Structure 1
């Protein structure tokens, strides 16, 4: 059977690629990047045969014409390549992906969407770029809806992850599996609730999310300007508490957050922590190790990295 050998949670920001030279908090930015590289070395040392990659989608592969809560990539996977992230086809473990989809449906608790030609964006490709650099390992991409309400609850995400863990364990091949969660920590994007936009910028964003599937480039310049004009809304107290929960093996407590409560505490971008919770659930909430945390206002985000490693757990007497 397959065995989960490592879990990683890591923040992402395309501004790390496009605005490195303009970043004034350079020391903090470099320490975060070093944390990513340290996590990459831990992944390499774990020797995974496949990486289950949990991430969000920022309205480049999914649009308001269809937003499933959970979508498994079970065939081709195309990275959009925005802002210097990887572009084009990505290597997918199709046998593992289809086994997971079949097992989840046949288990009777979940009916995830699936895609035989999944488009991902930096919500997952940022992790490929930095955490899988130089590693010849296929992925199984899982996109979680965190930006188009109504969102799957944190509790539901945790339940889905447990079912996913069981499906991994039932895989007939002797495969080593790493799980990467991309997203978070606290940050606020200048994105509206699509159901109730206010003002020209929010109306523009919703129109882009509705119509952008065929002509995204027509919206990209102004969209980027709106994002770059946003002020950072980072909550170090919240972020450090989240990282502490992971270090203590108490990440399950994130399941108690409601969508509105989390946005009030840490911004709409913190909704991406659903992927971190799912990663922890797949590792059975073992205690983790904090590799980095930095406040980088130019990137609008509290940037963190944590690792959950079954091989480094205390041996029970």
Structure 2
């Protein structure tokens, strides 16, 4: 029987790759970076055969012409390569991914599938740091966290539970890591609602989200300028509580929030915490370990790393 042997969650930010020389809170940045290394070592120690990476996509692999709530990469997986993140074909295991998709649908989670999926830093950041130098194939599971209407948080937890059931139902004896990329609190300078953009920047972003398929690089320079010009908005008290709830095994309580309530507490970037909830649900909401928390205004994000190691799995 296959089984999940480790779960990890980590924030992502391409500014970590491109703006390290502008960091003021160096101790915080180094604490986060070192925690990524600790998480990577814990993943390596668990000896997984495959890693399911639950993450978002920042309109470089999905666009408003087609954006499902949940999508599983079941074939070729390509890194977009923006901001010094991994680019090109990634190591995959299509047979496992396709079987996983079938089992998920049998359990009532109708995931979309992609036989050629382009992922961006919403997942390649995890490949770059949590799987650094590890020859582990990946199965991307993309959750829509940006284009309203978003999937309910309780449905994300259900997805996680069904991932666990599906892994156990698969034949063989694969050891599976489940990694979550995103969060913690942050506020992106994006439209509150893509259906109602306000001002030139928001209208440009919606245009990029709608028309970027096959041509996202054309929009990337100005997109990057809009992001780097943003004023940081963090919610450290929320982040501290979220990580405390990870440690006590209480993350399931966040499934009671609506999207609007979560945004009020953690900013629009806090919608990415769906990835952590899905991962934690796949681990049975077992108590975890907080490895680091670093509020990083320079990276516009509350940067956290957490780990869940299931009891009884050797």
TM over 0.5: yes
1:233 aligns with 2:233: yes
Aligned pairs (5 A) from 1:183-198: 183-192=182-191, 193-198=193-198
* Structure 1: segments with no counterpart, 5+ residues: none
Identify the residue that residue 159 of structure 1 maps to in structure 2: 158
TM-score, normalisation: structure 2: 0.98
Cα separation, 1, equivalents of 2:68 and 2:186:
23
- The C-alpha deviation readout for 1:53-92, integer Å capped at 9, x for no partner, is 0000000000000000000000000000000000000011
Aligned pairs for 1:8-47 within 5 A: 8-47=8-47
Kindly report structure 1 stretches of 4+ aligned residues shifted beyond 3 Å. Answer: none
* Ranges in structure 2 where 5+ consecutive residues have no aligned partner: none
Aligned-pair CA distance for 1:24: 1.2
Distance 1:305 1:312, change over 3 A: farther
Which residue of 2 is the match for residue 103 of structure 1? 103
Deviation at 1:27, TM superposition (A): 1.1
**What's the counterpart of residue 199 of structure 1?**
199
Shift of 1:311: 3.9
Instruction: Give the C-alpha shift of residue 153 in structure 1.
Output: 0.5
Q: For 2:217 and 2:95, how far apart are their aligned partners in 1?
A: 34
Alpha-carbon RMSD:
1.0
Residues in 1 aligned to 2:145 and 2:281: alpha-carbon distance in whole angstroms: 18
Alignment partners' CA distance in 2, 1:206 and 1:81: 22
Q: CA deviation at 1:165?
A: 1.1
Report the equivalent of 1:295.
295
Shift of 1:111: 1.5
The CA deviation at 1:25 is 1.1
- Note if contact 1:291-1:307 (Cα within 8 Å) is conserved in structure 2: yes
Matched residue, 1:57:
57
**Aligned to 1:274, what secondary structure does the other structure show?**
helix
- How far off its partner does 1:234 sit? 0.5
Deviations 1:95-143 (A, max 9, x none): 1101111112233x12110000000000000000001011111111100
Distance 1:173 1:5 in 2: 15
Q: Does the 8 A contact of 1:79 with 1:89 survive in 2?
A: yes
TM-superposed deviation, 1:312 = 7.9
Verify: 1:120 aligned to 2:119, yes or no.
Answer: yes
- Pair 1:136 & 2:135 matched: yes
Distance 1:217 1:37 in 2: 30
For residues 156 and 171 of structure 2, the distance between their equivalents in structure 1, rounded to whole angstroms, comes to 25
Distance in 2, Cα, partners of 1:70 & 1:64: 14
Residue correspondence of structure 1 range 251-270 to structure 2 within 5 A: 251-270=251-270
Partners of 2:218 and 2:79 lie apart in 1 by 19
Partner secondary structure for residue 214 of structure 2: helix
